Structures are given as C-alpha cells and as structure tokens.
Structure 1
Amino acid sequence: MIEIGEIREWYGHDVVDSKGRRIGTLESIYVDTATDQPSFATVMVGLPTRHRLAFVPVEEAVVGPGYLQVPYPKSQVKDAPSIETDGVLPAEDEAAVFGHYQLAYQQGTGGERRLARR
C-alpha cells in the first residue's frame, strides 16, 4: 500500500498504464474517509486546450523512477468519470467513479462522503 506521505512526492509526475503507456500527470489524491488511506488519484488528461481530471484507483499502483504505474489500461482511465481542473467531485458522483472500475461502493453509515481530496 502506498502511504499518503509518499504519494504526495509524485504530484506532477507521469501516470502510466499497465503497459507503461503515459496516461497523463498526477494531479491529486483522494483518500477513503473510513481509512484515511489513498484510494483514487486524479490524472490530468485531454488536449492542451481542454484538460480534465480523470479518476483512477491507486490501491495496486506501483511507483517507479519518475512515474506512478496503475494496473488499468490507458483507455479505461481516459473514459473514467472526470471533473474540470478546478472542479470538485460531487458526492452523488462517487458511486460512478467506483463503478467504472467495478469496485464496490458504500457511503458512510451517516451518509457521508467516501472520498476526500488531500
């Protein structure tokens, strides 16, 4: 498991897929509010004039020299739910982020958010 302190050092580095193809740049980390462990990253993707932040799980990510490798194909990450570069993930959209990667989603017992940006 990658610790939040370690992953912060990778902001601005490349994110690559399971085959080593560059997806984009690591922009931020979202932690699971129940465990405070890194859960998803946002990756800056898109055209130079139209960037957006796509979500990708980091549970099985591996760090390398100058990159973070995620175990998902580039196409899946680029098709993932995303937000504008200055946007915020609405609570009602969290389930879609988990669902895109076939991950189980459950709100907190009090209906609180599952993801928090760090």
Structure 2
Amino acid sequence: MSAEDLENYETDMELQLYREYRDVAGLFSYVVETERRFYLANHVDLQARSADGEIYFDLTLQDAWVWDIYRSARFVKKVRVLTFKDVNIEELTKTDDLTLPKDADLGN
C-alpha cells in the first residue's frame, strides 16, 4: 500500500466518521472533549481528585458515542476516563448547530 493509498483510506474513514457523528449528534445531551478523545453522551459525571499533590479528573460517561476512527464499535454503555488535562463539557440543546443541513455537500 502506497502512502497515497493510506492517506486516501484515512480521509475516507474520517469522512465516514463525520457522517456518523452528524447522524447521531441529535441523540445526545452532552459534548465532552478530553486531551485524547471527543465524546457524545447522555450522562456525565466529572470529579476532580488529587493524589500526591497532583490533581486529575475522573470522568464517567454513560450512553456514549466515541469519536475514534479506529474503533469498530463507537457506541458504549459506560466510559471512564482519567486525565490530568482539562475536560471540556458542553450541554447540548435541540437548537444547537451541531448538525449540518441534510443538503450539505460532503462529497457524496
């Protein structure tokens, strides 16, 4: 497989992932961004913890969707994330502009 083939494959996978995100975003109440992943979830519990003088975040998500191009199953019942970096959580409303119009050109 050439470098160009690999790049085309990854571009295709990213486009498929974005389309899936667009289709499922309206099913969730929260957008959660960590240092390594992006999630959609319907329940979020964030706890700041400390150990040996270091602060970290213990994040539990339920009924979630994971933005990860390499996961075969992106819907998960429960996710627990431990991170030393900030966590961004946004509550969605049904009027948020997270979804594109159905007629948006995505290379179909």
TM-score, normalization by structure 1: 0.26
TM-score, normalization by structure 2: 0.28
Rg larger in 1 or in 2? 2
Structure in which a larger fraction of residues adopt helix: 2
